[in-house]
Amino acid sequence: MYLTREQERMLNGEFGWVVAKAMSIIVKTGEALGATKLVEVAHAHVSGVSYSNILDPGLEFVRSLLLGGGRARVYTTVNPGCVDYSGLSELIDGSYAGKQAVIDDSLIKMGFKPVFTCIPYYHRPPAQGEFLAWGESSAVAVANSVFGASTNREGGPLALASALTGFTYYAGLHDPGNRVARVLVDVKDPRVRGNPGALGLWLGYRVREIPLVRGAGQGLADLKIMLAASAASGSHALVVLEGVTPRGFYSTDFVDRVEVEWDDVEEYTGVEPGGGSVLGYLGCPHLYPWEFLEVYRQVVKRGVLPRDRRLLITIPVEVFEKHYSEVLRLRRLGVDVAAGTCPVVSRLTRVFDHLVTNSGKAVFYLSKQLKANYYLTNTLGVIRAVYGERAG
Ligand code: F3S
């Protein structure tokens, strides 16, 4: 692989062992993937920072990077941790707060932005054509498919290595030759479009190659749910969205065409809850402020939640800070708002019989973990279900 003089010096340890180690991870991965050079990244987003996922070995690793002089050489944001940074949530378990604080302290001292969210594009929307190094599969899919930037689906260590060096390998989706849509997926039925979580699960399970989806809608709220689900159930880092993905970012060479029908996605929607305790969940991926305010309006209009029904909403820390009074009002109505975390990277303090959500990704990870029946619907459907209103 060709390296510039500066990159060679980094690899040879002239910038310290942390940078050398990070550079060697990038170079070795790049060589394995056939990369011939490195490119500068504009933004690194580091996932795998939740103590409940990485435990003591991960904590020690992050700490050692700080003590070894590791510093962010590029704008770097971090994914959710395992604690609620608002301090108000009753449903997110806070027992690991001390350990998470050690990780967070190390990340912040290395110069990473403590945004604790899986929607880093809320803080810094990527520019078209930019090279990124992002962990967090849902954000990767949004960066590529919506913004027309390019990032591979990095594991935590690779995104971290790019944060510490400012570079990534030029291979995978950075190479336009690999951004070729091969399956044309037509969405004509509004019921399919209206359940983006289920559509995303279907895409991930059923379509192996890069799809071009026609008719999935244009709204970022639904698209990020669909992309998160398809990245979880499959491995899609890029879903070309007709009318959304910038032209010139991808090419097409179709080997298959398919129209997705309601029957195809219905098998992923689960069962509407009858009796028993119900957890409604919105915010996977985290909500933008305007999404949060729409949910707020819908909840306030309906009032206090019925007994044995809870609604959990997860949002970025900054959205909590901006909308503190709305969060307090929601709490009085029985809604639990957690900031900078989510139930997948943390633990819940209680069990429920039913999980009702708009997120296919949450269903993918949580339905088995919580041993709950699930019902996958759209945002309004979740609110209606937790208030015991009939679907319609
Ligand atoms: Fe975000 Fe957690 Fe879902 S990190 S995408 S809310 S699983």
User: In angstroms, what is the span from residue 252 Cα to ligand 1's centroid?
Assistant: 30
Angle, CA 312 vertex, CA 308 and CA 89 arms, to 5°: 95
Q: pTM of this prediction?
A: 0.97
Residue 119 CA: nearest ligand 1 atom is: 1
Q: Is 138 in the pocket of ligand 1 (CB under 6 A)?
A: yes
Q: Are 235 and 203 in contact (CB under 8 A)?
A: no
The residue nearest atom 1 of ligand 1, judged by CA position, is 285
> What distance in angstroms lies between residue 82's CA and the mean position of ligand 1's atoms?
11
- CA dist 277 and 309 (Å) reads 6
pLDDT of residue 372: 84
Whether 80 lines ligand 1, by a CB cut-off of 6 Å, is yes
CB contact set of 388 (below 8 Å; sequence gap of 6+):
306, 309
- Residue among 339, 194, 347 nearest 265 (CA): 194
Among 73, 80, 174, residue whose Cα is nearest residue 132: 174
Amino acid identity at 60 = E
**Structure tokens belonging to residue 318:** 């900054």
What pLDDT sits at residue 391?
A: 59
Q: Given phi > 0 = left and psi -120 to 50 = alpha, else beta, which region is 163?
A: alpha
Residue whose C-alpha is closest to residue 84's, from 342, 357, 281, 283: 342
How many angstroms is it from 283 CA to the middle of ligand 1?
8
Closest CA to 380 of 307, 308, 316, 291: 291
Nearest to 268 by CA among 205, 209, 221: 205
Contact indicator for 253, 182 with CB cutoff of 8 Å: yes
Nearest C-alpha to atom 6 of ligand 1 is from which residue?
284
A 10 A CB-CB count for 380 gives 16
Q: Is 45 in the pocket of ligand 1 (CB under 6 A)?
A: no
Q: Which residue has the least CA distance to atom 3 on ligand 1?
A: 284
Which is the closest atom of ligand 1 to the Cα of 228? Answer: 5
DSSP-derived secondary structure for 256-318: EEEEEPHHHHHTTSB----SS-EEEEE-SSPPPHHHHHHHHHHHHHH-SPPTTEEEEEEE-HH
The predicted-structure confidence for 77-128, as pLDDT tens digits, reads as follows 999 999 999 999 999 999 999 999 999 999 999 999 999 999 999 999 999 9
What SS3 class is residue 251? Answer: strand
Q: What is the mean pLDDT of each run of 10 residues along the chain (392 residues)?
A: 97 97 97 97 96 95 96 98 96 96 97 98 98 98 98 94 98 97 97 97 97 94 98 96 96 97 96 91 98 98 95 98 98 97 95 96 89 93 92 55
The residue whose C-alpha atom lies closest to atom 4 belonging to ligand 1 is: 118
229 closest CA partner among 337, 142, 347: 142
Among candidate residues 385, 147, 139, the one with its CA nearest the CA of residue 286: 139
3-state secondary structure of 211: strand
192: nearest Cα among 256, 257, 269, 281: 269
Contacts of 263 (CB under 8 A, 6+ apart): none
Atom of ligand 1 nearest to the CA of 343: 2
Write the residue with the smallest CA distance to atom 5 of ligand 1: 285
Cβ(314) to ligand 1 under 6 A?
A: yes
| Closest ligand 1 atom, residue 118 Cα | 1
d(CA 251, CA 154): 23
Report how far ligand 1's centroid is from the alpha carbon of 50 (Å). Answer: 11
Which pLDDT does position 84 carry in this prediction? 97
- Ligand 1 centroid to 225 CA: how many Å? 10
- Our answer on whether the CB atom of 342 is closer than 6 Å to any ligand 1 atom is yes
Residue 376: the pLDDT is 97
d(CA 10, CA 158): 16
